[in-house]
Amino acid sequence: MEPVTETPRDQRPYDLVVLGATGFTGRLTAEYLARHAPDGCRWALAGRNRGRLEEVRTNLTTIDPGLAELPLLEADSANGDSLADLARSTRVVISAVGPYLLYGGPLVAACADAGTDYVDLTGEPEFVDSMYLEHHDRAVATGARIVHACGFDSVPHDLGARFTVLQLPEGQPVTLRGVVRAGGQFSGGTFHSAMNAFSRARQMRGAMQARRKQEDPPAGGRKARAVAGKPHRDRELGYWLLPLPTIDPFVVTRSAAALERYGPDFRYSHYAGFTSLPYVAGTAAGAGVMMVAAQVPPLRKALMSRVKAGDGPSEPRREKSWFTVDFVGQAGGTTLHTRVSGGDPYTESATMLAESGLCLALDDNPTTSGQVTTAVAMGEHLTRRLLDAGIRFDVR
């Protein structure tokens, strides 16, 4: 079906619409926008339950009384027409509706058809690869920028890798490792997404392989690879490292494949960092138990029923939480240590997601379209926004 796009993007009613603002991170994102959206920014909340949206809006008026009339739009991931209307009404959609593999696909399709920019919080590789296969070409044709993983997955890693590369000698092969550490508590949405991903290892590999066949290689014979590491002690950082099989290394290497500044041969390894070996063993064992449990449907269902997808750590707990991502890069005989750091990963995810939406809506970014990464779509502008928001990018 040919999309209806009578209204040019710059004449649409809204700059930003947040879909999923009644969920845990969606609420945090709406609260961030209530505090930081610039004057004149036209934004709205969307969801399937107007009553719950009104509750969110009422809470936002405690931050800014002027938001009492913030527009509320009804849209349901199971109703394609409502998503098409939503996509045609705005320049950017911020999606906080997960697990994305279950609920996210129709909205990406609607945005690709309408030429509407899209950002989300997903850390689900199968979803990202499936969306590339199904909607990248259409988004290129309509000019839509589809930018996944705009929260803790994977902004600190993607923009942190870019920040590090820019400090290294140009035109040289680059070897880079990222080491993430965090103090905090998982949300229900993170747990549900992880369990779903663990249960679909075969489908995830299939989507990844299909994408590799369809995706163009880096231009000019350049190479960009994610390299699986092994558990070891990092003498540079002083941490025990455990390879971390998340979406982050794939995002980083896709940025490297697209941007010539990453050098002719870019290799990236991704780890979790621990201060002692027993923590490494305990974490590996816990992850193994979760992966096994995810393969048994009754057990997976029982575990997921004990944790609500919309739940998350309390505000006092979040105030004590933190994250760091250390990078050690080598190129042309130079070794460099950098760090991206911030507060609670969920609070900062809301910051990153909201600023990504604002960046696409308001900043003069590089010309691009289709499914792209944060480094490719927003690079310097998003980094500057996050610095202004209190997230640190440092050379150590």
Q: What is the CATH number of the domain that holds 367?
A: 3.40.50.720
Asked whether residue 363 falls in the same domain as residue 337, the answer is no
Question: Is residue 160 one of the residues assigned to a domain?
Answer: yes
Q: What is the mean pLDDT of residues 124-151?
A: 98
Q: Examine the domain organization and report whether 69 and 190 are in the same domain.
A: no
**Phi and psi for 268 in degrees, rounded to 5?**
-130, 135
Answer whether 338's CB lies under 8 Å from 156's CB: no
Examine residue 396 and state whether it is found in any structural domain, yes or no: no
What is the Cα–Cα distance from 371 to 373, expressed in whole angstroms? Answer: 7
Q: Name which residue leads in pLDDT, 75 or 98.
A: 75
- What's the pLDDT band for 232 if we cut at 50, 70, 90? very high
What digits encode the pLDDT tens for the residues 56-97? 999 999 999 999 999 999 999 889 999 999 999 999 999 999
187 versus 251: which is more confidently predicted? Answer: 251
Please check the confidence at residue 195 and state whether its pLDDT lies above 90. no
Burial class (CB in 10 A: 0-12, 13-18, 19+), 278: exposed
Whether the pLDDT of residue 284 is over 80: the answer is no
DSSP code, position 220: G
Q: What is the pLDDT of residue 83?
A: 97
User: CA-CA distance, 258 to 290, in Å (whole number)?
Assistant: 35
Does residue 1 lie in a domain region?
no
Compute the average pLDDT of residues 161-187.
92
State both tokens at 81. Answer: 């027409």
Rounded percentage of the chain residues whose pLDDT exceeds 90: 77
Give the confidence band of 131 by pLDDT, cuts at 50, 70, 90. very high
Within a domain: 377: yes
204 in the same domain as 165: yes
Q: Shortest CA distance to 379 belongs to which of 364, 392, 391?
A: 364
- Are 330 and 352 members of one domain? no
Residue 316 pLDDT: 84
* Higher pLDDT among residues 367 and 295, named by residue: 367
**pLDDT attached to residue 188:** 67
**Dist. CA 53–CA 67, nearest whole Å:** 13
Identify whether 256 is part of a domain: yes
Residue 120 lies in a domain: yes
CATH number of the CATH domain containing 195: 3.30.360
Q: Give the residue-averaged pLDDT of 187-208.
A: 77
Name 205's Cβ contacts closer than 8 Å, sequence gap at least 6: none
Range of the domain at 89: 9-152+348-391
Q: What's the confidence (pLDDT) of residue 260? A: 97
Mean pLDDT calculated for residue range 20-42: 96
Q: Is the pLDDT of residue 187 over 70?
A: no
pLDDT of 5: 46
What's the mean pLDDT in 158-184?
96
Domain count, the chain: 2
Are 199 and 89 in a shared domain?
no
Distance (Å, whole) CA 155 – CA 283: 23
Mean pLDDT (whole number) for 106-126: 97
Question: Taking a C-beta distance cutoff of 8 angstroms, is the pair 41, 16 a contact?
Answer: yes
Residue carrying structure tokens 């199971």 = 78
CA–CA distances in Å: residue 56 to residues 13, 14, 167, 358: 21, 19, 43, 20
Query: What pLDDT, on a 0 to 100 scale, did the predictor assign at position 200?
Result: 80
**Banded model confidence at residue 301, pLDDT cuts 50, 70, 90:** confident
Please report whether residue 4 resides in a domain. no
Same domain for 331 and 218 = yes
Q: What is the mean pLDDT of residues 6-34?
A: 92
Report the Cα–Cα distance between both ends of the chain, in Å, rounded.
53
Q: Looking at the structure, do residues 141 and 267 belong to the same domain, yes or no?
A: no
pLDDT score, position 4: 42
**What is the rounded average pLDDT for all residues in the chain?**
91
Instruction: Let me know whether 14 and 73 are in one domain.
Output: yes
Q: Could you give the C-alpha distances from 352 to 119, 143, 199, 284, in angstroms and in order?
A: 10, 23, 28, 28
Tokens encoding 227: 């390299």
Residue owning tokens 């394609």: 80
What pTM does this model have? 0.92
Residue 148 clears pLDDT 80, i.e. is over it: yes
For residue 242, being part of any structural domain is answered with yes
Give CA–CA dist 310/41, Å, rounded. 28
* 3-class state of residue 174 by DSSP: strand
pLDDT, position 290: 62
Q: How confident is the model at residue 189 (pLDDT cuts 50, 70, 90)?
A: low
Q: Does residue 146 share a domain with residue 222? A: no
Phi and psi angles of residue 203, each rounded to the nearest 5 degrees, phi first: -65, -35
One domain, residues 299 and 176: yes
**Helices 155-167 & 379-388 angle (0-180, nearest 10):** 110
Q: Determine the pLDDT at residue 2.
A: 39
> Is the pLDDT assigned to residue 194 strictly greater than 90?
no
Based on the fold, state whether residues 16 and 100 are members of the same structural domain. Answer: yes
Task: Answer yes or no: is pLDDT of 44 > 60.
Answer: yes
Verify that 180 and 148 share a domain, yes or no.
no
Please give the Cα distance from 329 to 338 (Å, whole number).
Answer: 8
Q: Kindly tell me the sign of the dihedral angle through the C-alpha atoms of 242, 245, 248, 251.
A: positive
